[in-house]
Every structure is written in structure tokens, then in C-alpha cells.
């Protein structure tokens, strides 16, 4: 076995020197030496991303990367076919397209808890999303009971009550705008009224206008070191939204929760989330108490072919 400082193990007795690993390595740290693939130690200009491309491409199974946990693709709520799916084979586009077009944000949930095994499997699928420089610096905080979701909702409501009180203050928001801080004025124009209405409905009608009655929530954050933490989190969220649909679950991203947690860091502290982490996405989920009859259209996007 050949151990390099980049934690890529290449077994020379298995390596056939075919070069498949060299072709796919994004960091170009692999080369052939004495008829065996060899991984160069990290330098400032070329660093192993531990992306696993070399391991995935090797026809002789000569490469292992111990940091890649094979359990990440062992699921407890379904059996995965572990064979790699080549582009254009096995999964008809129309089936995936039906899933993509059928997923809708869910805002009515049955009061049934979501099994922890399903939440765990969703997170395993989330981390198969791409991440900038393969940082994989995701953190996932699961609230798996309605009472936990409600408690978070209360903290967020308290934040918005404070914010609305400030935004209602004409002098405060206009004087802030005069010195270039226009956020409060912008919030007042665009969100104040709908947030005020939602909070009144929460209080007077006991309606959960924030999490829509969801019995579970996954907060997706980043730990320090991620190069593109927000993008990574939303890509991971995308996997969760689609996979949840196949598991019979409805989902809804809750941007209001993310905004509140960004402004009031004490909210995440209450959940035991370290200060060094930042929350980028909140996915409410549960068994849907709503059905749809058809796939609808989308607005026309701006598309350019040059
Ligand atoms: C970043 C982001 C934040 C969102 N925040 C909320 C939210 O706070 N509350 C809510 O009910 N829906 C929220 N949504 C859901 C959108 O309203 C929804 O995706 C959009 O209306 C399209 O509908 P669809 O998801 O059913 O396709 C959010 C979506 C995104 C992408």
C-alpha cells in the first residue's frame, strides 16, 4: 500500500496503470510512477479534494480514501442499487422530470411525526450534492418533534415582533435610510404588513403561519472552512426536497426562519448549534395533508442561446 499525505491509498499490486484515475482527478495530483498510479503530496497549488473521482473510476478497485465513509450510501429506509448509473442509462428522464415537476412546497401537514430513519436517510442523500472545493462543511440540525418546531417558531416570532416594532417607527427607519442603511425601510415596505398579519393569525387563530404545522424541520448550516457555504446548503436542500417527495413527505423551505437566525444568533444558541456555524436553509417537512390534481406551468424565464 502506498500512503501519501493526501490520504489516498493506492494498492500497487492491483493498479494496472490504466490512467483512468489520472484523467478524472480535478486537482491533477495523480501520475504514473514505475507503472503504478501515485498521488503527490498536497502543495499550495495542487491539493487533493478527496472527491473520490479516482476511487470511482478505478477498474481494479485499487484506490481507497479512508475519509470517505461507505456508510453514507447505506440507507435504512430503502435499499440502494450500489452500481454507478452511467449518464443516459437506467433512469428515464421522464421519470425524474415527473418528480421534479410534481414537487411542490407543502403548507398543510398531518399531525404525524416523521420517522428519524427517514430524516437520517434524507441527510445522507443531501451530502451527495456538490460542494465548492468539495468542502462538505455541512451541518444538519434536525427537529423531529412538533414541540421542538413550535419552540423554534416562538423564538422566531419574538424576533419578528421586535423587528416590526422597530420598522413601525417612522423616524428610526427614515433616519437610518438617510445614512444609507435602507434595510429597515425596505423591510417595512415589503414585509412589515404581511408579517404583522401572520403574527396576529398565529396569536388569535393559533395558526402556524411560519412552519405551516410541520412536525419536523431540518436546518442546514455550514461549519467554518466552507468556500461556498450558502450554495452548498441550498444544493443539499434540493436533494432533500426531491427525495422527501419520493418518501411520501411534503417539504417547504422557510426563508423567514433563516433570516431571523442570521440576525439573532441567540436563536441557534438555544438549539445548541455552535456560534461558529451559520444556518443557510430551513426545510420544514412532514406527511402532507394536501393533494394536487396536476402539474402546472412556470413563468417564462429569460433564456439566451448565443
Ligand atoms: C430560499 C427560499 C425561501 C423560502 N421561504 C419560504 C417561507 O419562508 N415560507 C413559505 O411558505 N415558503 C417559502 N419558500 C417557498 C416558495 O414560496 C416556493 O418555493 C415558491 O412559491 C414556488 O413554489 P413550489 O416550491 O411549490 O414550486 C421559500 C423558497 C425558497 C427557495
The answer to whether residues 142 and 214 belong to one domain is yes
The mean pLDDT value for 197-219 works out to 96
Q: Using 50, 70 and 90 to split pLDDT, how confident is the model at 6?
A: low
Asked whether residue 41 falls in the same domain as residue 174, the answer is: no
Tell me: do 119 and 244 sit in the same domain.
yes
Residue 253: CB within 6 Å of ligand 1? yes
Considering the domain architecture, whether residues 161 and 108 belong to the same structural domain is answered as no
Write the CB contacts of 130 (distance below 8 Å, at least 6 apart in sequence): 232, 235
Prediction pTM value: 0.95
> Which residue from 189, 195, 197, 196 is spatially nearest to 173, judged by alpha carbons?
189
> Cell 435504512, residue?
76
The per-residue pLDDT for range 58-108, each reduced to its tens digit, is 999 999 999 998 889 999 999 999 999 999 999 999 999 999 999 999 999
171 is in which domain, residue-wise? 154-204
Is residue 297, in this structure, part of any structural domain at all?
no
Q: Does 273 reside within a domain?
A: yes
If you take atom 14 of ligand 1, which residue's CA is the nearest one? 253
Question: Whose alpha carbon is nearest atom 8 of ligand 1?
Answer: 254
Tell me, yes or no, whether 132 and 159 share the same domain.
Answer: no
Residue bearing the CA closest to ligand 1, atom 7: 254
How far away, in angstroms, is 105 Cα from ligand 1 center? Answer: 6
Substitution candidate for ligand 1 out of 99, 105, 109, 159 with most atoms within 8 A of CB: 105
- 198 and 255, same domain (yes or no): no
Amino acid at each position: 500500500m502506498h500512503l501519501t499525505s493526501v490520504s489516498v491509498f493506492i494498492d500497487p499490486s492491483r493498479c494496472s496503470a490504466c490512467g483512468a484515475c489520472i484523467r478524472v482527478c480535478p486537482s491533477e495530483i495523480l501520475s504514473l510512477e514505475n507503472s503504478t498510479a501515485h498521488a503527490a503530496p498536497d502543495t499550495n497549488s495542487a491539493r487533493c479534494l478527496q472527491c473520490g473521482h479516482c476511487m470511482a473510476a478505478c477498474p481494479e478497485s485499487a484506490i481507497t480514501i479512508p475519509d470517505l465513509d461507505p456508510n453514507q450510501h447505506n440507507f435504512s429506509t430503502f435499499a440502494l442499487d450500489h452500481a454507478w448509473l452511467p449518464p443516459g442509462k437506467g433512469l428515464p428522464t421522464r421519470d425524474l422530470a415527473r418528480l421534479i415537476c410534481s414537487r411542490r412546497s407543502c403548507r398543510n401537514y398531518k399531525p404525524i411525526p416523521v420517522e428519524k430513519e427517514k430524516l437520517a436517510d434524507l441527510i445522507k442523500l443531501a451530502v451527495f450534492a456538490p460542494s465548492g472545493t468539495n468542502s462538505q462543511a455541512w451541518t444538519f440540525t434536525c427537529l423531529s418533534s412538533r414541540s421542538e418546531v413550535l419552540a423554534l417558531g416562538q423564538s422566531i416570532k419574538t424576533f419578528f415582533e421586535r423587528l416590526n416594532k422597530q420598522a413601525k417607527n417612522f423616524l428610526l427607519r427614515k433616519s437610518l435610510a438617510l445614512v444609507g442603511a435602507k434595510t429597515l425601510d425596505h423591510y417595512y415596505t415589503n414585509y412589515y404588513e404581511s408579517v404583522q398579519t401572520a403574527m396576529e393569525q398565529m396569536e388569535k387563530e393559533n395558526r402556524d403561519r411560519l412552519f405551516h404545522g410541520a412536525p419536523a424541520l431540518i436546518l442546514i448550516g455550514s461549519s467554518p472552512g466552507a468556500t461556498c457555504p450558502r450554495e452548498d446548503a441550498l444544493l443539499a436542500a434540493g436533494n432533500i426536497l426531491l427525495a422527501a417527495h419520493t418518501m411520501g413527505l411534503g417539504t417547504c423551505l422557510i426563508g423567514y426562519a433563516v433570516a431571523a437566525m442570521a440576525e439573532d444568533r441567540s436563536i441557534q444558541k438555544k438549539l445548541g448549534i455552535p456560534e461558529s456555524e451559520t444556518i443557510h436553509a430551513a426545510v420544514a417537512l412532514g406527511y402532507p395533508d394536501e393533494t394536487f390534481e396536476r402539474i402546472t406551468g412556470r413563468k417564462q424565464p429569460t433564456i439566451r442561446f448565443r
